[in-house]
């Protein structure tokens, strides 16, 4: 396996954008990534495109990536479509990394794009519901929310009972991530909130209030990966590890623990070596459980002490995370990567972590039997 670098990244704003088509969002992200890499379309020798809900939302299935890239002039090269629930974009990145690392190509493009808004909100929630085993979905599920959030809520209640975490701790995650989102011009939300304000919001499903649940979003993100030796320009960021894992079929460690342990081993690093981390906070409680699955420390202790805030010892979700930045399912993983690269380049402005040299992203998808089904953990170095 040869070293791989991220030469360019691009990302749209994440938001409800009913007036925009998925092709428009894809074009913006891809053009930005190529411009950032100082490369052209003809430099790209393989493309991997992540998407999760288009079949339900827009009806576009089967050749999503080809039809998104064709208007930009992409043809002839291999285009691989990637569907892996909320981990679709990071899985696309993982496959692009593999293609470059193994010597199949010198330049690969990873894209994630998603259009989740629809005039019928029930269709949006139905699309999200495809991330679980549909045989487990109750027939009487209310149409105003996703069953996936019910499963996160059940997990949160179990976590509260075992760890001593409280709803106020989940609110602290929201306060932190919304604050970070204020400094991210591509984030869907951002505000100065208090714990009491978050707790007073409308309840979605106990113990979650509205802003403890990631929002429906539209957006796209992309990255250009290059082989070591093909070129290395100022601003290129090294991929030190990229690991994809599936949850065990017979119990055992959580899937993100499996992926992070493999990534730490591949990179020859530990959690103490990281300067900032993006995690998959689909619900506020998930951020705390992920602290523990990534071996950062006890979730309640970390959030109460401020260790994971911008000025803490290990800032988490500097972008605002899914809760504030937004969560267009098939694009989220590459939005995390956009943030990691931006941090390591020193260009994150008001949310910049001083002297950041190593960053991690953790992007998970689906749910089954108390855990995510797929998880991708990637470690970057400047």
Residue 259 parent element (H or E): helix 255-267
Instruction: List the catalytic residues.
Output: 86
Exposed (0-12), middle (13-18) or buried (19+): which is 1, by Cβ within 10 Å? exposed
Q: Which residues pair with 292 in a beta bridge?
A: none
CA atoms of 50 and 61, how far apart (whole Å): 12
Cα separations in angstroms, 145 against 148, 210, 275, 329? 9, 11, 35, 15
b vs e for 101-130, b when ≥16 Cβ sit within 10 Å of the residue's Cβ? beeebbbbbbbbbbbbbbeeeeebbbbbbb
Residue 264 parent element (H or E): helix 255-267
53 C-beta neighbours (distance < 10 Å), count: 25
Tokens of 221: 């993100």
- Residues 326 and 45 sit within 8 Å (Cβ to Cβ): no
């Amino acid at each position: 396996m040869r070293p791989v670098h991220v030469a360019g990244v691009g990302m749209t704003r994440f938001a409800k954008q009913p007036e925009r088509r998925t092709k428009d969002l894809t074009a913006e992200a891809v053009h930005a990534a190529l411009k950032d890499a100082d490369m052209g379309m003809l430099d790209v020798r393989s493309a991997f495109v992540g998407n999760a809900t288009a079949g339900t939302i827009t009806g576009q299935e089967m050749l999503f990536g080809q039809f998104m890239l064709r208007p930009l002039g992409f043809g002839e090269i291999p285009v691989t479509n990637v569907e892996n629930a909320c981990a679709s974009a990071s899985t696309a990145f993982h496959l692009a990394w593999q293609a470059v690392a193994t010597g199949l190509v010198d330049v690969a493009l990873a894209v994630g794009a998603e259009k989740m808004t629809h005039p019928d909100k029930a269709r949006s929630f139905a699309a999200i519901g495809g991330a679980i085993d549909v045989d487990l979905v109750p027939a009487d599920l209310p149409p105003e929310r996703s069953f996936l959030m019910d499963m996160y809520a059940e997990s949160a209640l179990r976590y509260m009972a075992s760890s001593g975490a409280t709803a106020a701790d989940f609110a602290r995650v929201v306060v932190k991530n919304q604050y970070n989102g204020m400094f991210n011009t591509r984030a869907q939300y951002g505000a100065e909130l208090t714990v009491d304000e978050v707790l007073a919001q409308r309840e979605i499903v106990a113990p979650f209030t509205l802003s403890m649940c990631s929002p429906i979003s539209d957006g796209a993100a992309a990255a250009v990966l290059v082989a070591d030796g093909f070129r290395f320009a100022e601003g290129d960021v090294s991929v030190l590890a990229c690991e994809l894992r599936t949850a065990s079929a017979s119990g055992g460690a959580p899937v993100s623990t499996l992926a992070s342990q493999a990534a730490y081993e591949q990179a020859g690093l530990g959690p103490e070596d990281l300067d900032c981390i993006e995690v998959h906070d689909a619900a506020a409680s998930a951020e705390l459980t992920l602290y523990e699955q990534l071996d950062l420390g006890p979730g309640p202790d970390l959030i109460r002490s401020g260790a994971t805030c911008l000025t803490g010892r290990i800032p988490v979700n500097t972008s605002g995370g899914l809760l504030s930045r937004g969560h267009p399912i098939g694009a989220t993983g590459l939005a995390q990567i956009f943030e990691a690269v931006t941090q390591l380049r020193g260009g994150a402005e008001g949310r910049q972590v001083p002297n950041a040299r190593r960053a991690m992203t953790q992007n998970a998808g689906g749910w089954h039997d108390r855990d995510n089904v797929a998880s991708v953990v990637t470690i970057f170095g400047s």
